[in-house]
């Protein structure tokens, strides 16, 4: 992801076309909320999941269920041994997030929401187990220089952000955004799907029509990010052509 640009154009002034009017009011989100915002940049999958796509909802859900059972088993063993391998389990959960993000575009809305709720529950379980068997470390602030990542991503999963600005270069696969409010997103991806969005501005470039579900007061405009090397990144992801799909939201 790139640093915030100095001047971001007003969505109402980026095109002669009228921006998409506010969508239907967003119903309250019933899924459990974690203790902090979670932004996962999804880059590469492990062996067994690399370059994996599913031709049917059934085959995806089967793979998702198998992975969840494996994580549940790891958690159960950790509790019995009072030894939680947090790194390994967190990686497994992250792999599931990547799997959902990369296949979210073709999945029914109900299945996407169910998978996201399952992921949220798994993370909460890890937090609960950790608090029970791992001694708390003394809290203290550390100065750490912020880093900037530039390049192409395999997929992107954005979850429960409030009043944030997210600037992303090219994404080879899918972008899945869930439960966001008061944010600005600048994204270039082959597939973009958004759930539960309220009062957001989205500057998009996509190869297929973006899907927005359960949104309210969401505005759209063309992709406008600029950084050294962006032209090459967009060409590498086959996103160098402006398709105008940002104005054809489904």
Question: Which H or E run includes 117?
Answer: helix 109-133
* CATH number among 3.30.360.10, 2.40.30.10, 2.160.20.70, 3.30.565.10, domain 11-27+153-247: 2.160.20.70
CATH topology of domain 45-133: Methane Monooxygenase Hydroxylase; Chain G, domain 1 (1.20.58)
Concatenated DSSP letters of 183-207: -EEEEEEEEEEEEEEEEEEEEEEES
Q: Where in the chain is the domain with CATH 2.160.20.70?
A: 11-27+153-247
Q: Kindly report, residue by residue over 105-162, the tens digit of the pLDDT.
A: 778 888 888 888 888 888 888 888 777 765 555 555 566 665 655 667 888 889 899 9
Nearest to 63 by CA among 72, 53, 73: 53
Q: How far apart are CA 148 and CA 146, in angstroms?
A: 7
In the chain, CATH 1.20.58 covers: 45-133
Instruction: Give 35-75 pLDDT, tens digit per residue.
Output: 333 333 333 333 333 334 455 788 888 888 999 898 888 88
- State CA 195 to chain mean position distance: 11
* DSSP line for 44-92: -PPTTTTT---SSHHHHHHHHHHHHHHHHHHHHHHHHHT---HHHHHHH
CA proximity to 102, closest of 19, 229, 189: 189
Question: Would the pTM of this model clear 0.85, i.e. be above it?
Answer: no
Q: Rounded to the nearest 10 degrees, what angle do helices 109-133 and 57-81 cross at?
A: 10
């Amino acid at each position: 992801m790139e640093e915030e640009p100095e001047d971001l154009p007003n969505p109402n002034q980026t095109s002669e076309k009228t921006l998409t009017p506010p969508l239907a009011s967003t119903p309250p989100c019933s899924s459990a909320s974690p203790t902090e915002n979670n932004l996962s940049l999804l880059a590469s999958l492990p062996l067994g999941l690399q370059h994996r796509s599913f031709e049917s909802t059934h085959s995806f859900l089967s793979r998702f269920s198998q992975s969840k059972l494996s994580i549940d088993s790891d958690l159960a063993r950790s509790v019995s041994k009072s030894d939680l391998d947090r790194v390994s389990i967190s990686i497994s959960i992250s792999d599931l997030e990547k799997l959902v993000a990369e296949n979210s575009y073709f999945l029914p809305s109900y299945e996407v929401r169910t998978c996201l709720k399952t992921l949220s529950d798994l993370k909460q379980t890890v937090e609960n187990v950790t608090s029970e068997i791992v001694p708390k470390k003394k809290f203290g602030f550390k100065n750490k220089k912020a880093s900037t990542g530039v390049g192409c991503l395999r997929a992107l999963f954005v979850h429960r952000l409030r009043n944030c600005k997210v600037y992303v270069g090219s994404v080879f696969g899918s972008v899945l955004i869930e439960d966001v409010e008061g944010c600005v997103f600048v994204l270039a991806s082959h597939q973009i799907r958004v759930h539960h969005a309220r009062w957001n501005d989205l500057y998009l470039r996509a190869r297929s029509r973006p899907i927005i579900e359960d949104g309210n007061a969401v505005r759209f405009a063309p992709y406008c990010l600029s950084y050294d090397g962006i032209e090459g990144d967009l060409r590498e992801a086959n996103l160098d052509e402006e398709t105008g799909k940002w104005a054809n939201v489904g």
